[in-house]
Amino acid sequence: MSEDDFRALYRHLRDRAAGGSQERPGALRHLTPARVAAAAAEVRSGRTVSLAAPIETRPGPDNPQPAVHRMTGPAERDIGAPGLSFARDRFAMNVHGDADSHLDALCHVLFDGALYDGVPARSVTPDGARALTVDLVRDGIVGRGVLLDIPRLRGVPWLEPGDQVTAEDLTAAEVAQGVRAGPGDLLLVRVGHRRRRRERGPWDTARSRAGLHPTAMRFLAERCVAALGSDGNNDTAPSAVPGVAFPVHVLAVQAMGVHLMDYLDFEELAPACEQAGRWHFLCVVAPLRLPAATGSPVNPLAVL
């Protein structure tokens, strides 16, 4: 895709996405209370499935700055001593890495000097972001989740690094799975990244990974999807647009106001949906309360 074609698509999606309110900006405007209630009514078995991968503390080719987990208690003298003592620990992580499951806030993507809806990029300061932070979703993103399994559609265990998911793939997966994404849905796209990583080992995903083609964002706009998640980064590598890094992030977050979830894990959810005979469910996303943050580690739950 040429940069000129990308910018034309960017302008189209940006103009189409205009609207919303201060409390529910961007694509969240499609996630109405009525749609949340309808999603809750879809629960059948009550089975819950985590869509997050375990947080990793060992470095690897896709995770050179892993999370740090340190025990701060109990002290050696307290172990085995009579009376009360507490086990305590401390945790720190690079939220936007290439291994751990996380949610991108609308202040995460700066493009041409601005954030979503023309908010100046200078609103992101060394002390934290002042607008469009993860605090916008402090009450969670709760709605109807729809999983589209692209490796299942193609008859492969995973998409190879560099492969791209098109709008046509998404539509074909809907037909094959008997489901249709609609207004306010949380769209989840499996590319098989987690399975490949477990079976082949981690690799340098910054250089090569499967993801969505930028034109697939038209599908999200037409269906009025509220949020997008993938078991990869959502963007392919190398970029599908020479001269523009992370074009899907630019289109989804900065142009359309769609919260993204990167590096989720669908390897338990996909067979659960297959067994249940349906690919939609209640999805509950609860980020941490980080008022000035550009994102958050997240453990989304599917409730079948």
At 164-189, the pLDDT tens digits run 999 999 999 999 999 999 999 999 99
> What pLDDT shows up at residue 209?
97
Give percent of the chain above pLDDT 90. 92
| Residue 201 CB-density burial (10 A; 0-12 exposed, 13-18 middle, 19+ buried) | exposed
Q: How confident is the model at residue 25 (pLDDT cuts 50, 70, 90)?
A: confident
Residue 302's H or E segment, with its range, is strand 301-303
**CB of 100 within 8 A of CB of 67?**
yes
Distances 218 to 133, 209, 235, 243 between C-alpha atoms, Å? 25, 21, 15, 21
Distance of CA 162 to the CA centre of its chain: 19
Report the distance separating Cα 123 and Cα 6, nearest Å: 26
pLDDT of residue 21: 61
CA gap 232, 210 in Å, rounded: 7
If pLDDT is split at 50, 70 and 90, which confidence band does 218 have? very high
Tell me, what's the pLDDT at 17? 84
pTM recorded for the entire structure: 0.94
The Cα 146–Cα 279 span in angstroms is 6
Stated as kind and residue range, the H or E segment containing 5 is: helix 3-17
Q: What is the distance, to the nearest Å, from the Cα of residue 148 to the centroid of all Cα atoms in its chain?
A: 14
The per-residue pLDDT for 18 is: 72
Averaged over 245-252, what is the pLDDT?
Answer: 98
Q: Mean pLDDT throughout 228-241?
A: 97
| Mean pLDDT score, 90-115 | 96
**Average pLDDT score over the chain:** 95
